[in-house]
Amino acid sequence: MLLVAVDIGNSRIKCGIFYPEGWRRKSPEVNCVFSAGLYDPAWRDFADPLFAAVAEVPRVTWWIASVNRPVTTDFLEILRAARPKDEVMLVSSSDLPLEVAVPHPDRVGIDRLAAAVGANTLRDPNRPAIVVGVGTAVTVNAISKEGVFLGGAISCGAAMSARALHEFTDLLPLIPTEWQTAPESIGKETPSALAAGIFWGLVGTVRELIERQTEVLQGPPEVFLTGGGAKPLVGHLGDDVRFVENLTLIGIAAAARAVLDKG
Protein backbone atom coordinates (compact mmCIF):
# COMPACT_ATOMS: atom_id res chain seq x y z
CA MET A 1 0.00 0.00 0.00
CA LEU A 2 1.19 3.47 -0.89
CA LEU A 3 0.76 6.32 1.58
CA VAL A 4 0.55 9.99 0.59
CA ALA A 5 0.86 12.45 3.47
CA VAL A 6 -0.61 15.88 2.73
CA ASP A 7 0.27 19.02 4.68
CA ILE A 8 -2.02 21.94 3.80
CA GLY A 9 -0.87 25.20 5.34
CA ASN A 10 -1.92 28.79 4.92
CA SER A 11 0.56 29.53 2.15
CA ARG A 12 1.69 26.13 0.81
CA ILE A 13 0.50 22.58 0.15
CA LYS A 14 2.96 19.68 0.33
CA CYS A 15 2.31 16.04 -0.57
CA GLY A 16 4.83 13.37 0.33
CA ILE A 17 4.79 9.89 -1.18
CA PHE A 18 5.82 7.13 1.24
CA TYR A 19 6.45 3.62 -0.06
CA PRO A 20 5.93 0.76 2.45
CA GLU A 21 9.64 0.31 3.09
CA GLY A 22 9.86 4.02 3.90
CA TRP A 23 6.82 4.71 6.06
CA ARG A 24 7.34 1.63 8.22
CA ARG A 25 10.72 2.82 9.50
CA LYS A 26 11.00 4.23 13.04
CA SER A 27 11.25 7.66 11.45
CA PRO A 28 9.32 7.41 8.17
CA GLU A 29 11.33 8.28 5.07
CA VAL A 30 9.58 10.21 2.29
CA ASN A 31 10.35 9.09 -1.25
CA CYS A 32 9.35 12.24 -3.11
CA VAL A 33 7.53 15.50 -2.40
CA PHE A 34 5.24 17.61 -4.57
CA SER A 35 4.36 21.12 -3.42
CA ALA A 36 2.87 24.41 -4.52
CA GLY A 37 2.50 27.91 -3.17
CA LEU A 38 -1.14 28.77 -2.58
CA TYR A 39 -0.73 32.41 -3.56
CA ASP A 40 -0.28 31.24 -7.16
CA PRO A 41 -3.72 30.96 -8.81
CA ALA A 42 -2.40 27.96 -10.77
CA TRP A 43 -1.46 25.97 -7.63
CA ARG A 44 -3.92 23.20 -8.55
CA ASP A 45 -1.72 22.26 -11.51
CA PHE A 46 0.81 20.73 -9.09
CA ALA A 47 -1.55 17.76 -8.71
CA ASP A 48 -0.99 16.57 -12.29
CA PRO A 49 2.56 15.23 -11.75
CA LEU A 50 1.51 13.97 -8.30
CA PHE A 51 -1.27 11.83 -9.76
CA ALA A 52 1.04 10.72 -12.58
CA ALA A 53 3.50 9.45 -9.96
CA VAL A 54 0.87 7.15 -8.43
CA ALA A 55 -1.05 6.32 -11.60
CA GLU A 56 0.04 2.67 -11.67
CA VAL A 57 -0.69 2.07 -7.98
CA PRO A 58 -4.12 0.49 -7.42
CA ARG A 59 -4.38 1.36 -3.74
CA VAL A 60 -3.32 4.67 -2.23
CA THR A 61 -4.17 5.99 1.22
CA TRP A 62 -4.18 9.77 1.66
CA TRP A 63 -3.68 11.28 5.10
CA ILE A 64 -4.44 14.98 5.06
CA ALA A 65 -3.48 17.41 7.84
CA SER A 66 -4.81 20.89 7.17
CA VAL A 67 -5.10 24.32 8.75
CA ASN A 68 -6.70 25.77 5.61
CA ARG A 69 -10.32 24.70 5.10
CA PRO A 70 -11.01 26.34 1.69
CA VAL A 71 -7.91 24.80 0.10
CA THR A 72 -8.73 21.44 1.67
CA THR A 73 -12.17 21.53 0.04
CA ASP A 74 -10.61 22.31 -3.34
CA PHE A 75 -7.97 19.60 -2.98
CA LEU A 76 -10.52 16.97 -1.99
CA GLU A 77 -12.58 17.75 -5.09
CA ILE A 78 -9.48 17.35 -7.28
CA LEU A 79 -8.45 14.14 -5.50
CA ARG A 80 -11.88 12.49 -5.65
CA ALA A 81 -12.26 13.32 -9.32
CA ALA A 82 -8.84 11.84 -10.17
CA ARG A 83 -8.84 8.84 -7.79
CA PRO A 84 -12.35 8.10 -6.55
CA LYS A 85 -11.50 4.68 -5.07
CA ASP A 86 -8.64 5.81 -2.82
CA GLU A 87 -8.96 5.98 0.96
CA VAL A 88 -8.88 9.52 2.37
CA MET A 89 -8.30 10.43 6.00
CA LEU A 90 -8.64 13.96 7.38
CA VAL A 91 -6.31 13.95 10.35
CA SER A 92 -7.41 15.29 13.73
CA SER A 93 -5.54 15.50 17.03
CA SER A 94 -7.11 12.23 18.24
CA ASP A 95 -5.54 10.36 15.30
CA LEU A 96 -2.00 11.22 16.35
CA PRO A 97 0.19 9.00 18.59
CA LEU A 98 0.88 11.99 20.83
CA GLU A 99 -0.08 12.98 24.35
CA VAL A 100 -1.08 16.64 24.32
CA ALA A 101 -0.92 18.44 27.67
CA VAL A 102 -3.12 21.43 26.83
CA PRO A 103 -6.80 21.98 27.74
CA HIS A 104 -8.14 21.68 24.18
CA PRO A 105 -5.92 19.52 21.93
CA ASP A 106 -8.42 19.79 19.09
CA ARG A 107 -7.83 23.55 18.96
CA VAL A 108 -4.09 23.25 18.43
CA GLY A 109 -2.96 23.55 14.81
CA ILE A 110 -2.71 20.05 13.40
CA ASP A 111 0.54 21.02 11.67
CA ARG A 112 2.11 21.83 15.07
CA LEU A 113 1.03 18.48 16.47
CA ALA A 114 2.11 16.48 13.42
CA ALA A 115 5.55 18.11 13.52
CA ALA A 116 5.80 17.10 17.19
CA VAL A 117 5.03 13.49 16.21
CA GLY A 118 7.77 13.74 13.61
CA ALA A 119 10.22 15.09 16.17
CA ASN A 120 9.39 12.23 18.53
CA THR A 121 10.49 9.75 15.86
CA LEU A 122 13.85 11.49 15.52
CA ARG A 123 14.85 12.80 18.96
CA ASP A 124 16.92 11.10 21.62
CA PRO A 125 14.27 9.45 23.87
CA ASN A 126 16.14 10.71 26.93
CA ARG A 127 15.98 14.36 25.93
CA PRO A 128 13.14 16.86 25.49
CA ALA A 129 12.73 18.72 22.23
CA ILE A 130 11.74 22.07 20.81
CA VAL A 131 10.20 22.27 17.35
CA VAL A 132 10.45 25.54 15.43
CA GLY A 133 8.12 25.83 12.43
CA VAL A 134 8.71 28.76 10.09
CA GLY A 135 5.92 29.53 7.65
CA THR A 136 3.08 32.04 7.44
CA ALA A 137 3.30 32.02 11.24
CA VAL A 138 6.29 31.02 13.35
CA THR A 139 5.66 28.42 16.04
CA VAL A 140 8.02 27.31 18.78
CA ASN A 141 6.69 24.22 20.58
CA ALA A 142 8.01 22.24 23.54
CA ILE A 143 8.02 18.45 23.91
CA SER A 144 8.92 16.78 27.19
CA LYS A 145 11.47 13.98 27.36
CA GLU A 146 8.49 11.64 27.75
CA GLY A 147 7.26 12.79 24.34
CA VAL A 148 4.38 14.95 25.58
CA PHE A 149 3.40 18.06 23.63
CA LEU A 150 3.44 20.83 26.25
CA GLY A 151 2.30 23.79 24.13
CA GLY A 152 4.32 26.64 22.73
CA ALA A 153 4.30 30.09 21.18
CA ILE A 154 2.99 31.57 17.94
CA SER A 155 4.39 34.67 16.25
CA CYS A 156 4.24 36.36 12.84
CA GLY A 157 6.21 34.94 9.97
CA ALA A 158 8.35 37.10 7.70
CA ALA A 159 5.77 37.59 4.95
CA MET A 160 3.06 38.48 7.46
CA SER A 161 5.33 41.04 9.13
CA ALA A 162 6.25 42.56 5.78
CA ARG A 163 2.59 42.85 4.77
CA ALA A 164 1.62 44.42 8.10
CA LEU A 165 4.38 47.05 7.84
CA HIS A 166 3.20 47.88 4.33
CA GLU A 167 -0.53 47.92 4.96
CA PHE A 168 -0.46 49.82 8.26
CA THR A 169 1.84 52.59 7.07
CA ASP A 170 1.69 55.13 4.27
CA LEU A 171 5.16 54.94 2.73
CA LEU A 172 6.75 51.60 3.60
CA PRO A 173 6.90 49.30 0.56
CA LEU A 174 5.94 45.65 0.49
CA ILE A 175 9.18 43.69 0.24
CA PRO A 176 9.74 40.07 -0.80
CA THR A 177 10.76 37.76 2.04
CA GLU A 178 11.82 34.61 0.18
CA TRP A 179 15.43 35.03 1.28
CA GLN A 180 17.98 32.42 0.28
CA THR A 181 20.60 33.93 2.62
CA ALA A 182 20.34 36.25 5.58
CA PRO A 183 20.05 39.97 4.74
CA GLU A 184 22.54 42.47 6.12
CA SER A 185 21.72 43.72 9.60
CA ILE A 186 22.21 47.38 8.57
CA GLY A 187 19.97 48.43 5.70
CA LYS A 188 21.19 51.25 3.45
CA GLU A 189 17.71 52.17 2.17
CA THR A 190 14.15 51.44 3.18
CA PRO A 191 13.66 47.97 1.59
CA SER A 192 16.94 46.63 2.99
CA ALA A 193 16.19 48.20 6.39
CA LEU A 194 12.84 46.42 6.39
CA ALA A 195 14.54 43.16 5.46
CA ALA A 196 17.04 43.61 8.30
CA GLY A 197 14.35 44.33 10.87
CA ILE A 198 12.04 41.52 9.79
CA PHE A 199 14.66 38.81 9.40
CA TRP A 200 16.84 39.54 12.42
CA GLY A 201 13.78 40.30 14.52
CA LEU A 202 12.52 36.83 13.60
CA VAL A 203 15.86 35.28 14.55
CA GLY A 204 15.81 37.12 17.88
CA THR A 205 12.24 36.02 18.62
CA VAL A 206 13.03 32.37 17.96
CA ARG A 207 16.27 32.47 19.93
CA GLU A 208 14.55 34.01 22.95
CA LEU A 209 11.70 31.52 22.88
CA ILE A 210 14.11 28.60 22.63
CA GLU A 211 16.04 29.95 25.63
CA ARG A 212 12.89 30.54 27.70
CA GLN A 213 11.41 27.12 26.92
CA THR A 214 14.73 25.42 27.64
CA GLU A 215 14.58 26.85 31.18
CA VAL A 216 11.27 25.03 31.72
CA LEU A 217 12.19 21.70 30.16
CA GLN A 218 14.06 19.03 32.10
CA GLY A 219 17.48 18.97 30.49
CA PRO A 220 18.89 20.50 27.31
CA PRO A 221 16.48 19.91 24.40
CA GLU A 222 17.10 18.85 20.86
CA VAL A 223 15.91 21.66 18.59
CA PHE A 224 14.28 20.86 15.25
CA LEU A 225 13.76 23.53 12.59
CA THR A 226 11.25 23.03 9.79
CA GLY A 227 8.89 24.89 7.44
CA GLY A 228 9.01 26.67 4.11
CA GLY A 229 10.76 29.74 5.52
CA ALA A 230 13.23 27.90 7.73
CA LYS A 231 16.32 27.53 5.53
CA PRO A 232 17.66 31.12 5.92
CA LEU A 233 17.60 30.67 9.71
CA VAL A 234 19.89 27.65 9.62
CA GLY A 235 23.17 28.59 11.29
CA HIS A 236 21.71 31.55 13.18
CA LEU A 237 19.97 29.66 16.00
CA GLY A 238 22.88 27.73 17.48
CA ASP A 239 25.01 24.77 16.50
CA ASP A 240 22.65 22.14 17.92
CA VAL A 241 19.65 23.07 15.76
CA ARG A 242 18.67 20.36 13.29
CA PHE A 243 16.92 21.32 10.05
CA VAL A 244 14.36 18.70 8.93
CA GLU A 245 12.61 19.90 5.80
CA ASN A 246 9.63 17.53 5.84
CA LEU A 247 9.08 17.09 9.57
CA THR A 248 5.29 17.53 9.38
CA LEU A 249 4.99 14.96 6.57
CA ILE A 250 7.10 12.55 8.63
CA GLY A 251 4.73 13.04 11.56
CA ILE A 252 1.66 12.42 9.41
CA ALA A 253 3.20 9.21 8.07
CA ALA A 254 4.09 8.05 11.58
CA ALA A 255 0.50 8.66 12.67
CA ALA A 256 -0.83 6.73 9.70
CA ARG A 257 1.48 3.82 10.45
CA ALA A 258 0.31 3.70 14.08
CA VAL A 259 -3.36 3.61 13.08
CA LEU A 260 -3.00 1.24 10.13
CA ASP A 261 -0.91 -1.22 12.15
CA LYS A 262 -3.70 -1.41 14.75
CA GLY A 263 -6.25 -2.09 12.03
**What own/partner pairs with CB < 8 Å and gap ≥ 24 does 22-26 have?**
22/253, 23/253, 23/256, 23/257, 24/257, 26/121
Using one digit for the tens of pLDDT, what is the confidence trace for 226-245?
998 999 999 999 888 999 99
Which pLDDT belongs to residue 25?
Answer: 85
pLDDT at 156: 96
Section 115-137 average pLDDT: 96
Q: What is the mean pLDDT of the chain?
A: 95
Domain ranges of the chain: 2-93+250-262, 99-248
C-beta neighbour count of 114 within 10 angstroms? 28
Q: What b-and-e string marks burial along 115-142, b requiring 16 or more CB atoms within 10 Å of the CB? A: bbbbbbbbbeeeebbbbbbbbbbbbbbb
Q: What is the pLDDT of residue 238?
A: 87
pLDDT score at 214: 96
Domain 99-248 superfamily per CATH? ATPase, nucleotide binding domain (3.30.420.40)
pLDDT given for residue 60 in this prediction = 95
pLDDT at residue 245, as a whole number: 93
Amino acid letter, residue 246: N
Do 99-248 and 2-93+250-262 have the same topology in CATH? yes
Amino acid at site 251: G
Q: Which residue in 40, 86, 111, 124 is the catalytic one?
A: 111
Judge whether 74 counts as a catalytic residue.
no
Average pLDDT (83-109) is 96
Residue 95's pLDDT band (cuts 50, 70, 90): very high
User: Does the pLDDT at position 44 exceed 80?
Assistant: yes
The mean pLDDT value for 27-50 works out to 93
Residue 197, pLDDT above cutoff 80: yes
Question: Please, is 216 exposed, middle or buried when counting C-beta atoms within 10 Å of its C-beta (0-12, 13-18, 19+)?
Answer: exposed
Q: Residue range 45-58: average pLDDT?
A: 94
Average pLDDT on 187-191 reads 97
Residue 102: pLDDT over 70 = yes
- Does the structure show a pLDDT above 80 at 211? yes
- Bridge partners (DSSP) listed for residue 42: none
CATH code of the domain made up of 2-93+250-262: 3.30.420.40
User: To the nearest whole percent, how much of the chain has pLDDT over 90?
Assistant: 90
pTM beyond 0.85: yes
Mean pLDDT of 151-178: 97
The per-residue pLDDT for 39 is: 86
Backbone φ and ψ for 127, nearest 5 degrees, come out as -130, 145
Q: Residue 263's pLDDT is what?
A: 63
